[in-house]
Amino acid sequence: MAKMAGKQMVVEALKREGVEVVFGYPGGAIIDVFDAIDKDGSIKFVLVRHEQGATHAADGYARSSGKVGVCIVTSGPGATNTVTGIATAYMDSVPMVVITGQVPTALIGNDAFQEVDIVGITRPCTKHNYLVKDVKDLSRILKEAFYLARSGRPGPVLIDIPKDVQNGKAEFAYPEEIELRSYKPVADPHIKQIERACALIEQARKPIIYAGGGVVIAGAHKELRALAEEISAPVAMTLMGLGGFPGTHPYSLGMLGMHGSYCSNMAMANTDLIIAVGARFDDRVTGKIEAFAPMAKIIHMDVDPTSIQKNVKVDVPIVGDCKKGLSKLLKVLKEGGRDQETWKNQHKAWWEQIRAWEKRHPLSYKKDSNVIKPQYVIERLYDMTKGRAIITTEVGQNQMWTAQFYKFDEPRTLLTSGGLGTMGYGFPAAIGAQIAFPDKLVVDVAGDGSIQMNIQEMATAMEQKLPVKIVILNNQFLGMVRQWQELFYEKRYVATRFQVVPDFVRLAEAYGAKGFRATRPEEVDQVLKQGLETDGLVIMEFAIAREEGVFPMVPAGKATTEMLLV
């Protein structure tokens, strides 16, 4: 067999993995790979303006499409710039392959120009990573990387390739199948555990389904819905779980946790059975752990055994893929022979209680005719897009208002940094999503702080002709931090007030995009309409109530029932 250069192996592997687009930024240590990609001509290359943008774009591409996102950057500073994006993908289990150039093997360890131990730096925030020392290993490593990234609990995998390995030659031996004796993700849940779970479900009077991002990742939304409808159980979702169950469904309680709805937090606190699916009992969800769901038995289904029994004691652990797990669970339940009426009757009192909570404190905000309320902007955005857009968010209040007031019915329509909470995520992620879905409406909901973290990617969006719509909720504050300062630091707004905020409309124009601004409530509709109907990249800026807060709110460390309400 003819020998192949390492750089061509990379191209060949990308093609075999069905990769159509890569995001990246060049440099001396990766120039050869870029050259090979260009010569080959079959893979689209998206040049970003900052390597963090490349990782978030690959991430947005992956989250929206379910495919592996790929990003290629140079060594040293190029590689370190990807770390935030990698950690973001790691925390939210996003399949991603990051290829970094490295100085020639002979120089590794010598503090050579642009050398950094990126494998060492990213070890705690990758699912796995490799430094390729010999070109003979490269094809196998590429195959493994894609396999690891997408199988089991997905995650980012980094491959660091020294320049001489990129140019060295070896046989291209791309394995068909991967057999890693030390890596055997469990997919098929144990039937005994499923049966135990069913027994608990049959006894429960006040069950609740607690759905997380695992449902979305596993593509288990249909199965989840079937389960909820079968047993007549309410569904509360984590931020990452939104869209995993239709937000408009009568059984949806919306989000739970720190900024969850009153109803879902009360239901969680009073339930006698939690059916947790692809969720991990994050502290933003549980609040003070000792006070969390004191009466509840817990069934916990997750593909990653480390998520189970990490934060709470679980009665029935089910290790496995959520899609498979839920269908098995449903099947066994149905074999039990109860009809839906029986389930409904069994949970009648529970539903009455839930509806009462919903009535007592529905998600709401104080309307105002003088100043734009951010919640209103999101509500109108929802109405005008009919919930059919892919929404990305930045981090902060903008993210929480979006989670609360935009109803996500479909999986993979909300892309947001949940685990790491990365400001600057939303816009590059929107670029990735728009590339995956050129014909869909993609909207980034941003704060004025977050958007400035990766605003340079406007150039990327323009270059790629991506019609991303950016909604900036401008409060001239780092709003979420300001909210904490307001509530817990006697309103000492330290380092959260911006004294200089750019004119976003003119900034849009500077990049060749369009910009619209609303400063009064009656302008909101007009600006949204104009913005959504204008072709190409658009910024819609809304001057919102400066000191608006996100409510309900569970103060950190408090029980989830100790909510501050509007």
Partner 1 sequence: MRHTLSVLVENNPGALSRIAGLFSGRGFNIESLCVAATLDPTLSHLTLVTSGADLIIEQIIKQLNRLVDVYKVVDVSEGEYVEREMALIKVKAEAETRAEVLRIVDIFRCKVVDVSPKTYTLEVTGPETKLKAVLELLRPIGIKEIARTGTIAMAREKKTV
Ligand X SMILES: Cc1ncc(C[n+]2csc(CCOP(=O)(O)OP(=O)(O)O)c2C)c(N)n1
Residues binding partner 1 (CB under 8 A): 119-120, 123-124, 127-129, 131, 133, 148, 180-183, 304-306, 308-310, 313
Euclidean distance between CA atoms 58 and 69, whole angstroms: 4
Euclidean distance between CA atoms 446 and 396, whole angstroms: 9
User: At 235, is the secondary structure helix, strand, or coil?
Assistant: strand
Q: In terms of CB distance, is 63 or 127 closer to partner 1?
A: 127
Q: In terms of CB distance, is 91 or 316 closer to ligand X?
A: 91
Q: In terms of CB distance, is 148 or 472 closer to partner 1?
A: 148
Euclidean distance between CA atoms 374 and 365, whole angstroms: 10
Question: Taking contact as CB under 6 A, which single stretch among the options 85-93, 242-250, 403-411, 472-480 is the one that binds ligand X?
Answer: 472-480
Interaction between residue 448 and ligand X (CB under 6 A): yes
Pairing mode of beta strands 538-543, 514-518: parallel
Question: Taking contact as CB under 6 A, which single stretch among the options 172-180, 338-346, 392-400, 499-507 is the one that binds ligand X?
Answer: 392-400
**Counting beta carbons within 10 angstroms of the beta carbon of residue 113, is it exposed (0 to 12), middle (13 to 18) or buried (19 or more)?**
exposed
HEC string for 456-480: HHHHHHHHCCCCCEEEEEECCECHH
Euclidean distance between CA atoms 404 and 153, whole angstroms: 27
Q: In terms of CB distance, is 252 or 485 closer to ligand X?
A: 485
Interaction between residue 473 and ligand X (CB under 6 A): yes
Q: In terms of CB distance, is 53 or 189 closer to ligand X?
A: 53
Among 154, 212, 447, 467, binds ligand X (CB under 6 A): 447
Please, what is the minimum distance in Å from the beta carbon of residue 131 to partner 1?
Answer: 7
Measure Cα distances from 374 to 139, 232, 378, 491 in Å. Answer: 50, 34, 6, 21
223 binds, among ligand X, partner 1, none (CB under 5 to 8 A by kind): none
Helix axes 322-335, 191-203, angle to 10 degrees: 60
Q: In terms of CB distance, is 33 or 473 closer to ligand X?
A: 473
Among 187, 441, 459, 481, binds ligand X (CB under 6 A): 481
Active site residue 51: yes
CA dihedral 320, 323, 328, 334 (to 10 degrees): 150
Please, what is the minimum distance in Å from the beta carbon of residue 451 to ligand X?
Answer: 7
Interaction between residue 485 and ligand X (CB under 6 A): no
Interaction between residue 423 and ligand X (CB under 6 A): yes
Interaction between residue 53 and ligand X (CB under 6 A): no
- The residues pairing with 236 across neighbouring beta strands, listed in sequence order, are 210, 254
124 binds, among ligand X, partner 1, none (CB under 5 to 8 A by kind): partner 1
Neighbouring CB atoms inside 10 A of 336's CB total: 12
498 binds, among partner 1, ligand X, none (CB under 5 to 8 A by kind): none
Active site residue 434: no
Please, what is the minimum distance in Å from the beta carbon of residue 310 to partner 1?
Answer: 6
Annotated catalytic residue within 127, 163, 297, 514: 163
Interaction between residue 398 and ligand X (CB under 6 A): yes
Q: In terms of CB distance, is 305 or 536 closer to partner 1?
A: 305
Is there a contact between 157 and 98 (Cβ–Cβ < 8 Å)?
Answer: yes
Is there a contact between 277 and 444 (Cβ–Cβ < 8 Å)?
Answer: no
Helix axes 397-405, 374-385, angle to 10 degrees: 50
Interaction between residue 59 and ligand X (CB under 6 A): no
User: At 349, is the secondary structure helix, strand, or coil?
Assistant: helix
Q: Does the N-terminal peptide bond of residue 552 adopt cis geometry, omega within 30 degrees of 0?
A: yes
Euclidean distance between CA atoms 95 and 219, whole angstroms: 14
Interaction between residue 402 and ligand X (CB under 6 A): no
Q: Closest Cα to residue 443, out of 390, 407, 508, 485?
A: 390
369 binds, among ligand X, partner 1, none (CB under 5 to 8 A by kind): none
Annotated catalytic residue within 7, 17, 51, 483: 51
Active site residue 163: yes
Among 27, 207, 449, 552, binds ligand X (CB under 6 A): 449
447 binds, among ligand X, partner 1, none (CB under 5 to 8 A by kind): ligand X
238 binds, among partner 1, ligand X, none (CB under 5 to 8 A by kind): none
Residue closest to ligand X (Cβ): 447
Interaction between residue 422 and ligand X (CB under 6 A): yes
- Give me the sign of the Cα torsion angle 34, 38, 43, 47: positive
Please, what is the minimum distance in Å from the beta carbon of residue 550 to ligand X?
Answer: 8
User: At 207, is the secondary structure helix, strand, or coil?
Assistant: strand
Active site residue 113: yes
Is there a contact between 204 and 343 (Cβ–Cβ < 8 Å)?
Answer: no
Interaction between residue 55 and ligand X (CB under 6 A): no
Euclidean distance between CA atoms 231 and 226, whole angstroms: 9
Q: In terms of CB distance, is 252 or 450 closer to ligand X?
A: 450
Q: In terms of CB distance, is 163 or 259 closer to ligand X?
A: 259
Please, what is the minimum distance in Å from the beta carbon of residue 49 to ligand X?
Answer: 17
67 binds, among partner 1, ligand X, none (CB under 5 to 8 A by kind): none
481 binds, among ligand X, partner 1, none (CB under 5 to 8 A by kind): ligand X
Interaction between residue 91 and ligand X (CB under 6 A): no
Q: Applying CB under 6 A, what is the total number of residues that bind ligand X?
A: 20
Active site residue 324: no
Question: Taking contact as CB under 6 A, which single stretch among the options 22-30, 212-220, 229-237, 418-426 is the one that binds ligand X?
Answer: 418-426
169 binds, among partner 1, ligand X, none (CB under 5 to 8 A by kind): none
Q: Give CA 78 to chain center in angstroms.
A: 23
Order of strands across the sheet that contains 514-518: 414-415, 390-393, 442-447, 469-474, 538-543, 514-518
Annotated catalytic residue within 113, 465, 509, 526: 113
Q: Closest Cα to residue 280, out of 296, 248, 257, 247?
A: 257
Number of H helices, E strands in the chain: 24, 20
Ranges assigned E (strand) in 376-481? 390-393, 414-415, 442-447, 469-474
Residues with catalytic roles: 51, 113-114, 163, 480
Q: Contact positions toward ligand X, by CB under 6 A? A: 394-398, 421-424, 447-450, 473, 475, 477-481
